[in-house]
């Protein structure tokens, strides 16, 4: 009898570890999308080895944001929009609208990225490639054990991306020593790059994908906090490893004085690093990054709708599939909506401070978190991130509005 109890306990522990790792990979792979790859490439071109300092600061800020959000979600047992509605009635609805608009717009870009990836891999037409990719993403939500399959796909794809990126990074012979020195003593600092990276890693729907995944898997309550914290940090570490590998690959190309194609900088780096094989690797990484971002964006966006009506909760899988179909059809009809992405990119920078600020207030309301005491250091550092991201988010939105009207 004792042996059976021990085996059951070990099985539950393994399941819990799998869920925690799956949530970490879901968040990480959701953030590693087409925009992630392009941002890292462009900023490395601009800042060279000093981009390492940007990576360090954004990494620390990402941890503060994600640990705060995941802990408060877990201890309350509530989704972000539910907490927001308890803090200020109606605020959860506003957050949901912002996140769904941003999630849908960026998912069109993710679908486009998947098409580009299959084009590089198999020379498929990008539109056909996007449709094939959307079908694969939809399949994940059709199967009976969606959560388990989603976790496994995120883990496998994440590991493949990291391995391939490290291979490419080594092939360019980057000046690692110089990068290490500039991590702590940069010759140039870009606040804009830091804010952009933080927004791209834990902004918008991305950080909520993993937090809500844990909640759906039943990982909640004060007793789960150590595991939740570990999972949240793991997600950021996975993202950081990928970002560092891509940074080193681009840095190696830049230091060799090779000309990167400004019209497609990311693909250009892989071609310069490893020729036609590099182009195929770019295709695999771009497709993998895009497909996981499609899944993460759709899952997180619909998870914000679930608490508003029992029918939405009941048919969440089909609503998620509809979300993916809408993204794919839009891309197929009109291509990537650049104008919308510009405005939504600015709005996305505002979602993080609004959501994080709301959760920090909720962390001190007993009707939300009970007897839980939120660590003071997390509150202070989280509050600083809210202020910094809020100020720069508003500035970015103001700067982008004239450009948007000009383009129209």
Report how far residue 259's alpha carbon sits from residue 271's, in angstroms, rounded to the nearest whole number.
Answer: 11
14, part of any domain: no
Contacts of 158 (CB under 8 A, 6+ apart): 25, 28, 29, 32, 238, 292
Task: List the structure tokens of 48.
Answer: 């060279």
Does residue 205 form part of some domain?
yes
- Of 5, 68, 57, 41, which Cα lies nearest the Cα of 268? 41
Token pair in block for residue 77: 């047992």
Sequential DSSP letters for 328-392? HHHHHHH---HHHHHHHHHHHHHHHHHHHHHHHHHTT-HHHHTT----HHHHHHHHHHHHHHHHH
Question: Is residue 2 in some structural domain?
Answer: no
Cβ partners under 8 Å of residue 172, min gap 6: 248, 249, 250, 251, 252, 253, 256, 272, 273
pLDDT at 59: 93
Segment 380-390, tens digit of pLDDT:
999 999 998 88
Q: Quick: pLDDT tens for 150-186.
A: 878 888 888 888 888 888 888 888 999 999 999 999 9
Query: Is 142 a domain residue?
Result: yes
Which residue range is the domain that position 199 belongs to?
20-407
pLDDT at 10: 43
Find, among 69, 101, 75, 74, the residue nearest to 354 by Cα. 69
pLDDT recorded at residue 337: 47
Q: pTM for this one? A: 0.85
Which pLDDT does position 89 carry in this prediction?
93
In a domain, 237, yes or no: yes
Does a structural domain hold residue 63?
yes
pLDDT score, position 248: 92
CATH assignment of the domain containing 206: 1.20.1740.10
- The pair of structure tokens assigned to 198 is 């933080």
| 228 Cβ contact partners less than 8 Å away, ≥ 6 residues apart | 20, 70, 71, 74, 214, 219
Instruction: Give the pLDDT confidence score for residue 202 in this predicted structure.
Output: 83
Q: What pLDDT is stored for residue 6 in this prediction?
A: 45
Residues (pLDDT < 70) of the chain are: 1-15, 335-349, 396-397, 399-408
Q: How many domains are contained in the chain?
A: 1
Q: What pLDDT score was predicted for residue 69?
A: 94
pLDDT at 51: 94
Residue 399: the pLDDT is 66
What is the sign of the dihedral through the CA atoms of 236, 242, 246 and 247? positive
Domain presence at residue 3: no
Q: What is the pLDDT of residue 11?
A: 38
CB 110 within 8 A of CB 33: yes
**Is 12 within the bounds of a domain?**
no
Q: What pLDDT is recorded for position 366? A: 92
């Amino acid at each position: 009898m004792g042996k059976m109890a021990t085996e059951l306990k070990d099985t539950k522990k393994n399941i819990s570890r799998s869920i925690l790792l799956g949530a970490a990979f879901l968040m990480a792979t959701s953030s590693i999308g087409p925009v992630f790859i392009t941002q890292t490439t462009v900023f490395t071109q601009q800042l060279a080895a000093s981009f390492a300092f940007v990576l360090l600061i954004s990494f620390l800020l990402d941890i503060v944001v994600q640990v705060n959000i995941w802990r408060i979600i877990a201890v309350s047992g509530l989704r972000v929009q539910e907490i927001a509605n308890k803090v200020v009635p109606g605020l959860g609805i506003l957050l949901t609208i912002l996140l769904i608009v941003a999630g849908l717009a960026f998912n069109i870009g993710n679908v486009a990225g998947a098409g580009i990836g299959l084009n590089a891999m198999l020379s498929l037409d990008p539109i056909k490639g996007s449709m094939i990719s959307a079908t694969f993403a939809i399949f994940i939500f059709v199967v009976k054990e969606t959560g388990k399959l989603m976790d496994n796909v995120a883990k496998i794809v994440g590991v493949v991306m990291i391995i391939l990126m490290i291979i490419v990074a080594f092939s360019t012979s980057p000046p690692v020593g110089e990068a290490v020195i500039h991590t702590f003593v940069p010759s140039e600092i870009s606040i804009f790059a830091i804010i952009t990276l933080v927004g791209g890693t834990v902004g918008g729907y991305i950080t909520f994908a993993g937090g809500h995944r844990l909640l759906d898997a039943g990982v909640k309550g004060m007793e789960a906090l150590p595991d939740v914290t570990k999972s949240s940090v793991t997600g950021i570490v996975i993202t950081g490893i990928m970002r560092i590998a891509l940074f080193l690959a681009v840095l190696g190309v830049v230091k060799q004085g090779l000309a990167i194609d400004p019209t497609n900088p990311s693909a250009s780096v892989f071609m310069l690093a490893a020729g036609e094989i590099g182009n195929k690797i770019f295709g695999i990484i771009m497709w993998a990054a895009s497909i996981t971002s499609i899944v993460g964006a759709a899952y997180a966006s619909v998870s914000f709708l679930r608490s508003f009506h029992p029918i939405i909760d009941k048919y969440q899988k089909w609503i998620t599939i509809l979300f993916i179909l809408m993204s794919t059809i839009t891309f197929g009809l009109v291509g990537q909506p650049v104008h919308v992405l510009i405005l939504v990119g600015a709005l996305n920078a505002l979602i993080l401070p609004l959501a994080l600020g709301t959760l920090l207030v909720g962390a001190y309301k007993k009707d939300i978190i009970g007897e839980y005491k939120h660590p003071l250091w997390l509150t202070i550092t989280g509050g600083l991130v809210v202020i910094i991201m809020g100020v720069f988010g508003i500035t970015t939105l103001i700067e982008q509005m004239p450009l948007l009207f000009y383009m129209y």
